[in-house]
Structure 1
Amino acid sequence: METQAAEEPVRTKMESLRLTCEREIQIHQQKIDSYASSFRNSLQSIKSRAQQTAQNQGKLGELKAKLREAEDDMVKALAVKTRKEAKRMAIMDSIAAQRARVEELKRSVQVQSAKRDQYAAIISQHSLALAASEEKSNKDVECRSETQEAILWYNRVLGFHVEAGHGVKFTFKNINSRNPNEEYSLTVRYANDTYTLLDCDPHLNDTKELIYELNKTNGLFKFVRIMREKFQEAATQGFLPQLTNHQELSTISTSAPVLSMSSDRSESSATKNDDQVLHEEGSRPSKKAYYLRGSKPLSWR
């Protein structure tokens, strides 16, 4: 009995342990089942994800192919755009160059217009000057014609001519009525602002007073006229009878052509021309014609 009494707690204890183990086993079994179910679910989920991933990879490959095509298209489009942009820039540069050329041509046209107006003004001025010159030339021709006629008359009636050399030689004919071809001459030189009588053929008296008056008044033509009168007086005293000075001068003045150089002003201007010839001191130019106020030569020597 004591043995049974001693075994009873052990059995109870063992039963308690068995029940505890069964409960734990059930708990662990539930956990294992839960884990297995969860694993199956996870595996199923993984499989579905794997399939989805595989599908996605296929789609990704397609997308990559499309992306490559899109990139190729984009490169082609960029190349076309670049060419178009380069062409546009070239066109813009050409337009800018053409505009600059147009502006330059406009400025050139303005300059040419200004030059044309300037040339037109110059041509107009030259035309006026030419017209005035032609008018003056016509007047000079008329004056020269009249002067030539007068010179021919003086050469014919007075036998007067002038020769430039070492001084200016004035020669007269038609002084002596008995020998009209006989020459009377005088040579005057101008140097250092002074007139000098180099020669007088035939010799005349009172020439010093006349040279003094010439240097005082600078009236060369008046001096020449007085010297001609002196030659006439000498011829009158040497050969009588003949016309008196007043009669001969009266005859000459009534028949001589009218010259514009008979006034004192003309004498002064003509004297200036003579002075230019006489002013070449010490020079011996070649024999040449002596001009009177732009007319033809009085005579050739």
Structure 2
Amino acid sequence: MDSTIQKILVPTDFSKSSEKAYIVAANLAKTYGATVDFLHIIPTLKYFRESVNKMGIPFDMDQEFYPQAQRDAKHRMEQAIQDYLKEEHRGELYTAIEPRAAGAIAQFADKHGHDIVVVGERGAGETHWFRGSTTEKLIRQAKVPVFAVDESFQIESIKKILVPTDGSHLSLQALRMALPLAVTFKASIELFHVLELYGVSWDDVPRQPDQDEESHARIAILHQITSLLDKYEALKGVSFAKSSETEPLSFGLSMGSDTVSVPCDLNVARGVSAHYEIEREAVDAADMVIMATHGHSGLAHLILGSTAEKVAQYVKKPVLTVRPEGLE
């Protein structure tokens, strides 16, 4: 699992939240020997251009405004990369002139092969970027994991990472980011499953006559984890240990010649609304949330998909979303 995070993208608008993203990216880069690229999106000013033209003001956006904005952004990124990153982790600095920031960032990360996007969830003045607008759109559109942090984020405060799962392999693919971040933050993982009204059909694990629904779900999810580790290339080198149904669980990550242990709990709760129960668990028992954007069936924005969007939008904790492999 050494190569999970090798290229990190930090989109920046130079806000306080962006500065927190620099710190997170620097810690990930240090842990995994990764490089960090910076990207600043300059929005196209269509209506400003039209107004200037109507007034007959001799001002050329393409020749005057945009080049100067790019030079200024490049200078500020150069300063940031020197202040926050050691030389061996410094990547490239990019600027782009685009009408839609979220789509441009998502396409850029995919095109350049980034493994994760670390972004401030609120922009300058709390009006340009905030979870629910650009960041929410980025979470929905990006094919690579998106980690949204705000200006209050403190790395040392991350002690438990909540990983919601509907029990599917798709949802459990969130572990490919949860495990390396648990190592980086020296945190434990809580796998959290909500038994909703209609429940889930566990075809591979028949329910025993004397078994309650919670116990059956727990055993089925443990079975799913084991089978995922056998099949999923991105989790190669990860082991999973449990001494009994009641004793603590743990993952083992192969990192070079060493194996790092990550403690894990598996909790099953009943609830009418999965996203409400996840939000409540995040507030009561966790310091951040890492979850897949899709679950059962893999259909966009259905089942776990809609839940992920609601959690990412409303939960008041750092959120990282992972788009599972195998989706169109």
* TM-score, reference length from structure 1: 0.21
Higher strand share: 2
The alignment's TM-score, normalised by the length of structure 2, stands at 0.20
Bigger Rg over Cα: 1
With a CA cutoff of 8 Å and minimum separation of 6, indicate the structure with the bigger relative contact order: 2
